[in-house]
């Protein structure tokens, strides 16, 4: 799997296996009335005259809210055209939506739509498990907290590719092939994955691009009754938000893009950049590990400690570590995924030290559990559709990073320069889109959103998944981009313990006052 482009928030990565992502149940009544939007003025759920006639039925639909089965939340199903180029065809996709209404006190500001990243992360799961209950109380008091599963994701016409047992085998395929036979096995795995997506998801597969998800978000804005979109997107969610702003700059309200992607970077450069980001995060982990009494990598300095980890991966490649599941021993691929999962969030470093110590002593269950959280594998062997949607969106948004194995061979040295530990594996992981059954409809390009009001772009200096230079680039590309910097570790910044970051973003969301461009927080 193309783990090098799986961009998502910490909560999704580390805790996903334990979240209770309840489905919606029936009952409830009609949609919201017109309200004062976060940008001021009165909004109407009716589509504006700028909406093409063929799309007006979608913009004018009424959401029927019902109980979600999770206290405090309501759910609804929104219709969107399968193909925006031919909305008159009558073919639709179902978009699952959830909200938690503003709690007060204070004047309601409208809806705040949130997206956790991915691509492939469930917005509804994120809303119910975190954003709807964990965002600052002052924000939740003034906004209806809203999210949706983007098309192709979880509850929204989901992409399906492999069965649980097939996915178990796929995650164990060696992604650092040492010979022709291993290389052929990896190529065959990518082809099988792509063929499974085509056979199980042929109808939706050509229509899960970020542009289409952004267009869905504008329909959602309208049916929620908001004149302008207020939005917080994390990780890949920043690309979704920036794409929305490019398409609909006049409908942008208060946009926060946290852990930003650089939309101008081609897939190859993006994957290589992210490889370097994981190396940066690994160095931070190793530096911290050296200070801990339970560090399994010794005390010989960063280079020696890094070599210890590389040696562990080499041994796991040659002889997988027992994990407690005889069908899923901890080989190099699963071990590497487990380490990468923990690097998203420094609060997981103690868990990573414990899991590495156990694995180095013959028990791979801890690292396997981390890998399972990354892949969203449940205890019963079933997988959420995260990895399927992730590939489907990525492979549609840009042409493939590589045309075939020979191109990967040529690029491996540059990936290894970016990360001596992860480089080769992440280079080969980037091959998956080469065999995709649907041709890419998007391409790398700068997004300017000319005419939009100030958009806050947040970057974390030592972010493993979205390198800080991406945030700098996006803030420069956007005509109204404002860069807010967190000098810290981990993936994304809002709600991660920096009072400086949280205060700046809260003031923007609540009062419309963006931070000073270039503001830095620790």
Q: How far apart are CA 297 and CA 310, in angstroms?
A: 10
- Quickly state the pLDDT bin for 32 (edges 50, 70, 90): very low
Tens digits of residue pLDDT in 305-330: 999 999 999 999 999 999 999 999 99
207 is catalytic: no
pLDDT value for 375: 97
Coil, helix or strand at residue 94: strand
pLDDT value for 276: 96
User: What number is the average pLDDT over the span 138-146?
Assistant: 98
pLDDT value for 46: 33
Whether pLDDT at 26 is above 80: no
Query: Exposed e or buried b for every residue in 367-405, given b needs 16+ CB within 10 A?
Result: bbbbbbbbbbbeeeeebbbbbbbbbbbbbbbbbbbbeeb
What six digits make up the tokens of 409?
């061979």
User: What number is the average pLDDT over the span 251-268?
Assistant: 98
pLDDT value for 13: 34
Give percent above pLDDT 70 in the chain.
Answer: 91
Contact by Cβ (8 Å): 201, 161: yes
- Quickly state the pLDDT bin for 299 (edges 50, 70, 90): confident
User: What number is the average pLDDT over the span 113-142?
Assistant: 97
Look at 501 and 17; give whichever has higher pLDDT: 501
Q: How far apart are CA 323 and CA 124, in angstroms?
A: 32
- The 3 state secondary structure assigned to 151-190 is CCCCCCCCCCCCCHHHHHHHHHCCCCCCCHHHHHHHHHHH
**Packing angle, helices 164-172 and 180-201, rounded to 10:** 150
Catalytic residue from among 463, 480, 489, 502: 463
pLDDT value for 21: 23
Q: What are the start-end ranges of the H helices in 319-463?
A: 332-343, 349-360, 365-375, 386-397, 405-418, 423-429
502 is catalytic: no
Catalytic residue from among 4, 235, 419, 430: 235
Tens digits of residue pLDDT in 201-259: 999 999 999 999 999 999 999 999 999 999 999 999 999 999 999 999 999 999 999 99
Whether pLDDT at 153 is above 60: yes
Q: How far apart are CA 354 and CA 446, in angstroms?
A: 42
Q: How far apart are CA 301 and CA 414, in angstroms?
A: 25
Whether pLDDT at 48 is above 70: no
pLDDT value for 192: 98
Q: How far apart are CA 224 and CA 441, in angstroms?
A: 29
Whether pLDDT at 36 is above 50: no
Whether pLDDT at 512 is above 80: yes
pLDDT value for 50: 83
pTM for this predicted structure: 0.90
492 beta partners: none
- Quickly state the pLDDT bin for 347 (edges 50, 70, 90): very high
498 is catalytic: no
Tens digits of residue pLDDT in 376-432: 999 999 999 999 999 999 999 999 999 999 999 999 999 999 999 999 999 999 999
Torsion angle of the four alpha carbons 276, 281, 284, 290, in this order, in degrees rounded to the nearest 10: -100
512 φ/ψ sector (left φ>0, alpha ψ -120 to 50, else beta): left
Cis upstream peptide for 105 (omega within 30°):
yes
User: What number is the average pLDDT over the span 96-116?
Assistant: 96
User: What number is the average pLDDT over the span 341-351?
Assistant: 95
User: What number is the average pLDDT over the span 160-171?
Assistant: 98
Tens digits of residue pLDDT in 456-489: 999 999 999 999 999 999 999 999 999 999 999 9
Whether pLDDT at 118 is above 50: yes
Contact by Cβ (8 Å): 508, 515: yes
Whether pLDDT at 135 is above 70: yes
User: What number is the average pLDDT over the span 54-79?
Assistant: 97
Tell me the average pLDDT of the chain.
91
User: What number is the average pLDDT over the span 19-41?
Assistant: 28
Q: How far apart are CA 48 and CA 42, in angstroms?
A: 13
Terminal-to-terminal C-alpha distance of the chain = 34
pLDDT value for 418: 97
pLDDT value for 20: 23
pLDDT value for 200: 98
Whether pLDDT at 511 is above 90: yes
DSSP secondary structure of 34-83? P-B-TTSSB--SSPPTTS-GGGHHHHT-----EE-SSTT-EEEEEEEES-
């Amino acid at each position: 799997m193309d783990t090098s482009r799986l961009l998502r928030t910490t909560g999704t990565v580390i805790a996903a296996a334990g979240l209770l992502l309840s489905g919606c149940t029936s009952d409830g009544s009609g949609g919201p009335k017109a309200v004062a939007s976060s940008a001021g003025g009165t909004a109407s759920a009716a589509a504006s005259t700028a909406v093409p006639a063929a799309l007006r039925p979608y913009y004018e639909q009424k959401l029927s809210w019902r109980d979600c089965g999770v206290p405090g939340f309501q759910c609804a199903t929104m219709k969107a055209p399968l193909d925006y180029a031919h909305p008159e065809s009558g073919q639709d996709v179902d978009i699952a939506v959830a909200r938690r209404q503003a709690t007060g006190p204070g004047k309601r500001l409208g809806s705040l739509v949130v997206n956790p990243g991915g691509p492939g992360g469930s917005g509804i799961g994120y809303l119910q498990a975190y954003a709807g209950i964990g965002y600052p109380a002052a924000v939740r008091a003034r906004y209806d907290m809203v999210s949706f599963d983007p098309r192709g994701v979880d509850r929204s016409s989901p992409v399906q590719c492999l069965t649980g047992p097939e996915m178990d085998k796929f995650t164990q395929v060696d992604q650092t092939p040492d010979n022709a036979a291993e290389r052929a096995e990896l190529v065959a795995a990518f082809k099988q994955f792509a063929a499974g997506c085509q056979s199980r998801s042929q109808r939706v597969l050509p229509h899960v691009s970020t542009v289409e998800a952004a267009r869905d978000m504008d329909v959602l804005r309208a049916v929620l009754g908001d004149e302008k979109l207020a939005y917080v997107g994390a990780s890949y969610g920043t690309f979704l938000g920036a794409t929305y702003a490019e398409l609909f700059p006049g409908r942008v309200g208060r946009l926060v893009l946290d852990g930003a992607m650089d939309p101008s970077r081609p897939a190859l450069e993006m994957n290589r950049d992210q490889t370097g980001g994981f190396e940066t995060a690994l160095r931070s982990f190793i530096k911290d590990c050296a200070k801990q009494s339970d560090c399994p990598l010794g005390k010989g300095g960063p280079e020696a400690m890094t070599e210890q980890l590389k040696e562990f991966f080499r041994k796991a490649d040659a002889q997988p570590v027992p994990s407690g599941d005889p069908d899923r021993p901890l080989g190099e691929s699963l071990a590497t995924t487990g380490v990468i999962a923990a690097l998203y969030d420094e609060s997981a470093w103690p868990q990573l030290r414990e899991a590495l110590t156990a694995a180095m002593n013959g028990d791979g269950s801890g690292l396997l559990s981390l890998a399972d959280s990354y892949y969203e594998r449940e205890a019963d062997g079933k997988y959420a559709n995260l990895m399927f949607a992730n590939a489907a969106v990525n492979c549609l948004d840009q042409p493939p990073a590589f045309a075939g194995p020979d191109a990967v061979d040529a690029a491996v040295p540059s990936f290894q320069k970016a990360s001596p530990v992860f480089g080769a594996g992440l280079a080969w992981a980037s091959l998956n889109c080469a065999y995709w059954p649907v041709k890419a409809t998007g391409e790398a390009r700068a997004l300017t959103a000319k005419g939009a009001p100030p958009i806050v772009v947040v970057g974390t200096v030592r972010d493993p998944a979205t390198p800080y230079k991406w945030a700098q680039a996006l803030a420069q590309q956007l005509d109204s981009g404002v860069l807010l910097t967190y000098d810290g570790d981990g993936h994304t910044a809002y709600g991660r313990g920096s009072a400086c970051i949280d205060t700046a973003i809260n003031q923007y969301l609540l009062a419309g006052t963006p931070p000073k461009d270039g503001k830095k927080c620790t």
